[in-house]
Structure 1
């Protein structure tokens, strides 16, 4: 928010100097980012009129001007500005005046005397425009000091506002905070209703419910739209970062900056009526004031005339009904729109407007009528006209209503750590525009309708703290007993998982929780995604449904920067849409992605690319932290490589699917512009971290027996199915199964493979006999033969 210092002082008179004012603004949370001083030391600079301008006899780019400076005899000035011409009113620095670091003296330029200097706005420190002389209105008083005429010296102050302080997007809103901090009073503002002298009206219809619960309009006939914007208004706009356009447009901008209420002016003769507000219909098109044509849908609010869209509510007006110099009858409008109905709409169109910036954060719902009255008075005073009656449509049940808040004296003292005097508390709150009533134990406070950010007791405590002064709050150590929560033995800490992966040569990544919708489409993971109402950019428009898309994108950025071996992991949440009106479902997950060699470059062993089994080893190490037993089953995930990916199940203590592991599909890698294989896993965190309480068991006093068998099984049967059969058939004597060899080639029929397995058998109560072992092995082979068509390899 940028504004004129003098304008602010008009609303809150104060003796505080500029530096003090800037320091106070920052101290109360309205951080001052820049203070640009304007028009300092303009003694000797006056308003002057060029009577004639003749070509310099010795220079093509210079002119010899006769200038009326209000001193009787015209002065001769040599000027090189391209816009110097007879009749122009411009600033003149007389002999002896200082312009910047230059003291003006009488001089000869190419043999011609010059007694002063006609100035540009930049030379005077008023504006950045150095293209020519500063052009003043024709009715500017010749000979008058320029500083007095332009209201100088002044300063353009720019403050940085937090999103909750929408009330300070106006000079008057800032004035309340300054008055409270400096012990002043906000000056009265004339918003007296202007009596109607005409009968012209336009009916108003509200069709958007709670999205647009108030709309106020007024017709003013016989306006002189060609009148020039007064200097005082134009200068305040410029110093607030707004370029004057035309009087009727400038009035709406001026009221918005002063009061905080965005407004719009329509050419009444281009409207049929009634004027309405409704949701736009899909496919409707509208040409905006900036000349672009946009296609609307049901997410936008449209201002309509006889049901045709004529403006984009809360964002920008339409080209077809704009005011011009030919306008004679104007329709002024001011409305209240719910922030949720406006937020993000201008960004969808790739634009940013002052109106949308304010409506997105919240505008005082009681302000539209006041703004209409103030704007009406300005139009009548400067451009004339006959105002009709104010027409207002409102849905009171949908308008935000301030509610009283109880501020307890004891609670205030406890939170702040000091006792603020009762009189000071009441003064601060009343200076901020709040109604304060003394009650037992504290105060009952009703915030003004413009303060959307004040809703609970803590908000009032914050107001007292920032105005009383954070530097006045003592620094004390917290007291009382600290409650220490013991970590649960039934859950593995996330830091343990982090440490385990770091120990296995991974780096932790932190990715955005929102991603590009197109990225999720590549992964075929867009189902159930949650779109953002107000995304930071189009590339960050939806909440992630998986961790891997963002993690693999980060891996790709590392590969693009000459990192040939990348191993990343992330712990974070994914989001899925719930039912209408419900919050998204959040699920904590852990994911990892790798590319490149299995080991860092070294001399001890030959380089080889990391594969599925390397990644599985890393995952098994995580499972071991929780004592989990994992099972890997064939996966049909669309992002996974067929035959090189698996679903991960936890099978101890009941079956639960944890997630996915494997190599990414080549088609996905091409879409992501990645070369070479990329592997990854993604698991739900809660079931992975579940851990049974460790219970000690005695070691068996009896020896185990190992029996190795080699059998031939069809290629189509996965090892996980074979292992499950072996464990089931082996019964309680089988304590461990070890696969130690896989063979394809001579002696093995096509479509089959030979698997060599070590069977570890053990009984904790006795020594096993050869008969016990033979019976167990026979049961295992019979089960493999019956269930999978396997046979002992000869």
Structure 2
């Protein structure tokens, strides 16, 4: 929210000389985070000038310029830039006339950009300044011609400071408004917060408006909601008032244009600007209808199946039965709380206006805005909660401005439906605030703080009953009230005390292992990343289904991005996206990993069907069980991706590109950090390279895959041909690993080393042969390592020779060569039995 200082000062006493930083500091004290400051970035002298004469001079480039004589100071006086009262100025615009009052930027001034103005020679003349357009002054987007003050209804003396005249000397602070404090999306709300922070006198703008009396037949309106969302009626308040005989073609006053501009709102036309102005002032969105284009009474209802509406942005929209719409006899004429319809739009020919201010259910508005991708200023306020008590005052304020600025006549009475429920009292026991916040507050301090925010505070036995003000829908429980007390009385009173953890508590085993895995991978040079858990159904089918069988995916009801509405079944799509983004920015060598949840629903099972409990009520165990049953399995995975060179090219050292070996090493590190023994076997995965994919097993159970990404997928993702990846189920590894890891004792007696070469069929996995040798050799075998895989001369066609390095050791004696050979041959024998291996001659 952007807050112009001059506007803020109308409703709260801002001391003279208060800077933007002072205002920000005050608002920060009451919990409103500062964002930025905004000014018009103008520097004078910029004055009102009068066009005395001009000569049109065609140029050789086909352009015609005007050589103008412009009075910039009264006769006999020196101009603001120290020059003469009449300046010669070259101007390319042709929309002004002799006698027009214009805005002249004199030499030495600076326009937004920054764009300094100086006397310069152009088109054969010395142009001593510039006649400015609205866009050049920062007032709007109109750059077709210069700004004629008569079009704004201004007739100021020549030489008048135009910066002050047009309200361009104002500035605004910008604050971040959290979702629970929608009231701060208004000058009214921010002024109240500034008063809380400084103790300044606050004047509620709503109290300064005389709300119009409502009668039944002022304009017929009705609300029918036959399909409320979770029992919440879509609209509870609807106020309307008619203003007749307005002059919609009148210009918007400069002070209003300047304030709207600083507040981030573009000036459109007088009538629209008035509705936007009151929205910013009160926090109540306003909509105006061309009364002569309405057909019959207004009805608020849910949209019907197949109904369509063309909104003010010119887009034809298919309405959803959940959408709230404003209708007349022809059908929908507005998307309630989000955007009006084009058929009844106010325009320059509008003579009679029906002004509407309503209150809409935040949930309905939030869903509609996201469904139609319409994050309008109105929706932004309604989905956070708008004060239901101010609608009559808001339409009266709009009517007053339309009378004052557009020359209209407001009807004596208006229409009003007000069915908003009364706020219920919240019990706040004595001592509750102090016990929760950790500060000793007196009963008077608690009472005064809650009264200051607008609450109706009543003393009862053992505490207070507090009815929150209508503009604070976020205050629903005693903890909310406690937070308000702490906020208003100062967060600086809360002591900084480090809580002491109860003995015996600390990180769980799972937490320790997760940290250990991340530390181990990071120590090996990998970078941890955090990717969004959202993906496409196609990616889930490719990366989340190793064998290519159909899989189920969880689809979000309100996805942040419609192109990725599904929850991921694998971490790999996110890592590929990270790699693609970094490669496009010049990072050619990457080693990244992520620890995160994946979502694995069962096919044919409905999820999320349980009714959500009301937020402020403790759900029953049955409800909790139903909610938990509606959540799919969410195991924690570890994903790794490497691309580029593992060792870069150096003088005398060739580059070493990444490959499947690096993916296997990463998995070994993960398993080591988790205290598990990992095994690899030849595998296949739909997303991975045939022949360069390994199954990862712990205790014989499949827990993941490692290898190289399929070349077709690397090409599709604009990645190098070789991308090493691995993904394992960390939760599964934890469940299979021993909680207590035994250290292997270091042998003190001599070891006997021997090699064993076995010839087996080419299709036999080396891991199967190694497992048989290890088992057959018995306890004397301390270490086994595959050192060679040979296929060529001397080995039969369709076979391979596997050479293993074996290390034997006994814990109680020195082994003889015969004992080692016997154990080796026992291993070879079992390998022959299981895999058909034969000792190579």
TM-score by structure 2 length?
Answer: 0.73
| 1:189 match | 208
Match of 2:521 in 1: 501
Where do residues 350-749 of structure 1 align in structure 2 (5 Å cutoff)?
Answer: 352-376=375-399, 378-379=401-402, 382-386=407-411, 390=415, 392=417, 402=423, 404-407=425-428, 410-413=431-434, 418-439=439-460, 442-470=463-491, 473=493, 478=498, 483=503, 485=505, 493-504=513-524, 506-514=525-533, 517=536, 520=539, 523-525=542-544, 528=553, 531=556, 533=558, 535=560, 544-560=568-584, 563-575=587-599, 579-580=608-609, 586-601=634-649, 607-651=655-699, 655-689=700-734, 690-695=737-742, 710-723=757-770, 738-749=785-796
Query: Distance between the aligned counterparts of 1:196 and 1:770, measured in 2?
Result: 106
1:711 and 1:317 mapped to 2: Cα distance? Answer: 81
Measure, in 2, the Cα distance between the counterparts of 1:172 and 1:634: 69
- Describe the shift of the 1:180–1:258 C-alpha distance in structure 2 as closer, same or farther (beyond 3 A): same
Q: Contact between 2:167 and 2:258, CA under 8 Å: does it hold in 1?
A: no
Q: Secondary structure at the match of 1:460?
A: helix
Provide the secondary structure at the position in 1 that maps to 2:170: strand
Q: How far did residue 629 of structure 1 move?
A: 2.0
Q: Are 1:156 and 1:240, in contact at CA under 8 Å, matched by a contact in 2?
A: no
Q: Aligned partners of 2:500, 2:99: CA distance in 1, in Å? A: 79
Cα distance, 1:127–1:99 mapped onto 2, change above 3 Å: farther
Aligned equivalent of 1:171: 187
Structure 2 equivalent of residue 107 of structure 1: none
Aligned equivalents of 1:508, 1:57: Cα separation in 2: 67
Higher alpha-carbon deviation: 729-738 or 428-437: 729-738
Residue 209 of structure 1 aligns to a residue in which SS? coil
For 2:71 and 2:506, locate their aligned partners in 1 and report how far apart those are by CA, in whole Å.
88
- Structure 2 match to 1:113: none
SS state at 1:449 partner = coil
**1:62 paired to 2:89:** no
Greater mean alpha carbon deviation, residues 544-553 or residues 410-419: 410-419
Query: Paired residue for 1:226, among 234, 248, 272?
Result: 248
In 2, Cα distance between equivalents of 1:531 and 1:153 = 47
Which of 314, 332, 339 is equivalent to 1:291? 314
The CA deviation at 1:429 is 2.2
Aligned position for 1:11: 11
Per-residue CA deviations over 1:37-82 (Å, capped at 9, x if unaligned) read: 899999x999x9x8x965579995325789999xxxxxx9889686
Please say which of residues 158-167 and 235-244 is displaced more in the overlay: 235-244
| SS of residue matched to 2:578 | helix
TM (norm. structure 1) is 0.76
Q: Distance in 2 between matches of 1:125 and 1:710?
A: 83
The 3 A distance-change label for structure 1 pair 744 and 291 is same
- My pick for the range that moved more, 139-148 or 585-594, is 139-148
Deviation at 1:322, TM superposition (A): 1.0
The separation in 2 between residues aligned to 1:357 and 1:731, in whole angstroms, is 72
Q: Judging changes above 3 Å, is the alpha-carbon distance between structure 1 residues 482 and 491 closer, same or farther for their aligned structure 2 residues?
A: closer
Alignment of 1:229-268 (within 5 A): 231=253, 236-237=259-260, 240-268=263-291
Q: Once structures 1 and 2 are overlaid, which stretch shifts more, 345-354 or 316-325? A: 345-354
Conserved in 2, the CA contact under 8 Å of 1:180 and 1:428?
Answer: no
Cα pair 1:256 1:262 within 8 Å, conserved: yes
Partner of 1:27: 29
How many residues align? The count is 751
* Shift of residue 286, structure 1, vs aligned partner: 4.2
- Residue 259 of structure 1: CA displacement? 1.5
Q: CA deviation at 1:677?
A: 0.6
Contact 2:241/2:396 (CA < 8 Å) preserved in 1?
Answer: no
Q: For residue 617 of structure 2, what is the aligned residue in structure 1?
A: none
CA distance in 2, matches of 1:136, 1:584: 67
SS in 2 for 1:18: coil
Query: Equivalent residue for 2:626?
Result: none
CA apart distance, 1:669: 0.4
Taking the aligned partners of 2:237 and 2:509, their CA distance within structure 1 comes to 61
In 2, distance between residues paired with 1:337 and 1:440?
A: 37
Query: 2:96, 2:148 within 8 Å by CA — same for their partners in 1?
Result: no
Shift in Å, 1:596: 3.6
Partners of 1:138 and 1:345 lie apart in 2 by 38
Aligned to 1:180: 196
* SS of residue in 1 equivalent to 2:639: strand
Three-state SS of the structure 2 residue aligned to 1:311 is strand
Q: Which moved more, 1:358-367 or 1:405-414?
A: 405-414
Q: CA deviation at 1:264?
A: 1.6
Mapped contact 1:740–1:756 kept (Cα < 8 A): yes
Aligned-pair CA distance for 1:674: 1.3
- Equivalence for 1:753: 800
Distance 2:665 2:87 in 1: 86
Q: 2:357 aligns with which of 334, 339, 352?
A: 334
Q: Please say if residues 150 and 235 of structure 1, whose CA atoms lie closer than 8 Å, have aligned partners that are also in contact.
A: no
Tell me, in whole angstroms, the C-alpha distance in 2 between the residues paired with 1:86 and 1:285: 51
Alpha-carbon distance in 1 for matches of 2:8, 2:514: 53
SS of the residue corresponding to residue 753 of structure 1 reads: strand
**Separation of aligned partners in 1, 2:485 and 2:473:** 17
Aligned equivalent of 2:830: 780
What per-residue deviation string (whole Å, max 9, x for no partner) do you get for residues 304-325 of structure 1?
5558443344332222221224
Following superposition, the deviation at residue 684 of structure 1 comes to 2.3
Q: Give 1:722 shift.
A: 4.5
Other-structure match for 2:604: none
How far does residue 623 in structure 1 lie from its aligned partner after superposition?
1.9
1:171 and 1:600 map into 2 onto residues whose CA distance is 59
3-state SS of paired residue (1:680): strand
- Cα deviations across residues 139-175 of structure 1 (Å, max 9, x unaligned)? 7688899999979797342321232321111121122
Unaligned runs of 5+ in 2: 58-64, 76-84, 112-129, 545-550, 602-606, 611-629
Query: Hey, what's the Cα distance between the residues in 2 that align with 1:240 and 1:579?
Result: 41
- Rounded to whole Å, the distance in 2 between the matches of 1:92 and 1:670 is 59
Q: Distance in 1 between matches of 2:669 and 2:327?
A: 64
Structure 1 residues 608-646: Cα deviation after superposition (integer angstroms, max 9, x where no partner):
443323432342243233441223344443211122112
Contact kept, 8 Å, 1:99 with 1:123, in 2: the verdict is: no
Contact 2:300 2:324 in 1 (8 A): no
Higher alpha-carbon deviation: 353-362 or 142-151: 142-151
> Which SS does the other structure have where 1:265 is aligned?
strand
Distance 1:280 1:238, change over 3 A: farther
Q: Tell me: CA distance 1:120–1:422, structure 2 relative to 1, closer, same or farther (3 Å).
A: farther
**Separation in structure 1 between the aligned mates of residue 137 and residue 574 of structure 2, nearest angstrom:** 53
Moved more, 166-175 or 217-226: 217-226
Higher mean displacement: 221-230 or 172-181: 221-230
